[in-house]
């Protein structure tokens, strides 16, 4: 019996040496230390042995059991250490690697353009006034000196709604009436930015929605000279001291006299290029002295007050400045376009 135990010990220690992973280690535990292992069977049979044999066998069996348990736990530690070392080497984390750059949000080019324009006017004392995108026919046209059936209404391809009289604004000019009615008879220096809508055949130059910015000044003794000075100064604030501007006679029902204004081509400095069609000039917007009927509709006595107004497309400024050839880029949500600004 004693030699059996020594054999068990020898065999087990030998088997343990070649164990390299957790699974075989567990198999070893069951085979040599488990309930039905030969060693445990020795313990089971102790009672059947002769009384004088029992102490010596029992002691030896305990020694073997302790030796195996100790060897088992040493092996188990060694294996765990080795596994840890392996994972540290294979899954190594290099904390000195530079982090991944998170994509930063940015302003939409239409917003960039709008803010630059607003800043230029704000520096000249103009305040921003917001007016509705959904308007009545009266505000869109009637109060702007275009009664129903006025032929000039054809200049705006308007989106009408299923509600009679209600349409999307095709320009920011109806805001002139809102701001005048709110402030009359106080003097006004306001800009009115915002989205406008037109029933257009969409192409590279026309979209069904776009931003406009309306300029309105009302007060005593406001002259055409103030209009020209303000528009020219705006051009200089936005594009530098040397930019030239020009005014061409035009027609709008809500201004008298009316004009269109051009800035010297931003891309060729007036020399002539494809963008300005070799004229050296870029058409920016319309303007004029507020028509007496419009002043009156706004609550101002045209005998005492006068005013000037102007309008411009804010995306258009950005297109001219950056040679953007297609207005559809602005609202098509293409990051390749948006991320260039």
Contacting residues for 317 by C-beta, under 8 A, at least 6 apart: 113, 117, 238, 284
Using CB under 6 A, which of 109, 193, 253, 288 touches ligand DAH? 288
Shortest distance (Å) from residue 160 CB to ligand DAH: 17
Strand partners, 259: 249, 287
Q: In a 10 Å sphere around its CB, with 0-12 CB exposed, 13-18 middle and 19+ buried, how is residue 322 labelled?
A: middle
Strand partners, 306: 219
Stretch of residues binding ligand DAH (CB under 6 A), selected from 2-10, 87-95, 183-191, 281-289? 281-289
307 binds ligand DAH (CB under 6 A): no
Strand partners, 287: 259, 310
Q: For ligand DAH, give the closer residue by CB, 177 or 309.
A: 309
The encoded tokens of residue 222 equal 């406001």
The size of the interface with ligand DAH (CB under 6 A), counted in residues, is 11
Stretch of residues binding ligand DAH (CB under 6 A), selected from 73-81, 118-126, 127-135, 305-313? 305-313
Q: In a 10 Å sphere around its CB, with 0-12 CB exposed, 13-18 middle and 19+ buried, how is residue 233 labelled?
A: middle
The encoded tokens of residue 236 equal 């200089």
309 binds ligand DAH (CB under 6 A): yes
Q: Is 285 helix (H, G, I), strand (E, B) or coil?
A: strand
Output phi, psi for 193, to 5 deg: -90, 160
Stretch of residues binding ligand DAH (CB under 6 A), selected from 10-18, 121-129, 298-306, 308-316? 308-316
Closest CA to 5 of 46, 50, 52: 46
255 binds ligand DAH (CB under 6 A): yes
171 binds ligand DAH (CB under 6 A): yes
Using CB under 6 A, which of 311, 314, 316, 324 touches ligand DAH? 311
Stretch of residues binding ligand DAH (CB under 6 A), selected from 40-48, 53-61, 294-302, 307-315? 307-315
Q: For ligand DAH, give the closer residue by CB, 37 or 158.
A: 158
Using CB under 6 A as the criterion, which residues of the chain lie in contact with ligand DAH when the complex forms?
171, 173, 214, 252, 255, 286-288, 309-311
């Amino acid at each position: 019996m004693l030699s059996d135990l020594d054999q068990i010990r020898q065999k087990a220690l030998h088997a343990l040496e070649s164990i390299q992973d957790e699974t075989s280690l567990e198999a070893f535990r069951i085979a040599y230390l488990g309930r039905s292992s030969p060693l445990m069977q020795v313990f089971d049979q102790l009672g059947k042995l002769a009384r004088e044999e029992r102490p010596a066998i029992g002691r030896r069996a305990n020694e073997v059991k302790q030796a195996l348990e100790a060897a088992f736990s040493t092996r188990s530690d060694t294996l765990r250490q080795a596994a840890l070392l392996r994972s540290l080497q294979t899954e190594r984390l290099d904390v000195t690697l530079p982090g991944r750059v998170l994509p930063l949000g940015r302003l939409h080019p239409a917003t960039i353009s709008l803010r630059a324009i607003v800043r230029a006017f704000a520096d000249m004392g103009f305040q921003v006034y917001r007016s509705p995108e959904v308007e009545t026919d009266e505000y869109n046209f009637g109060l702007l000196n275009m009664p129903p059936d006025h032929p000039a209404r054809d200049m705006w391809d308007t989106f009408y709604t299923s509600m009679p009289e209600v349409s999307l604004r095709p320009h920011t000019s109806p805001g002139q009436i809102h701001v005048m009615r709110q402030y009359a008879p106080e003097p006004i220096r306001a800009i009115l930015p915002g989205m406008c809508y037109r029933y257009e055949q969409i192409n590279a130059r026309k979209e069904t929605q776009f931003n406009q910015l309306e300029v309105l000044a009302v007060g005593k003794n406001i002259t055409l000279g103030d209009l020209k000075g303000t528009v020219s100064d705006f051009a200089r604030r936005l594009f530098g001291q040397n930019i030239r501007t020009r005014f061409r006679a035009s027609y709008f029902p809500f201004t008298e006299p009316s004009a269109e204004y051009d800035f010297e081509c931003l891309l060729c400095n007036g020399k002539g290029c494809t963008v300005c069609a070799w004229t050296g000039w870029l058409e920016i917007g319309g303007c004029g002295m507020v028509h007496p009927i419009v002043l009156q509709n706004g609550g101002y006595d045209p005998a005492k007050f006068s005013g000037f107004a102007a309008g411009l497309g804010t995306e258009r400024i950005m297109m001219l400045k950056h040679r953007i050839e297609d207005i559809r880029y602005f609202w098509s949500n293409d990051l390749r376009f948006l991320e260039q600004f």
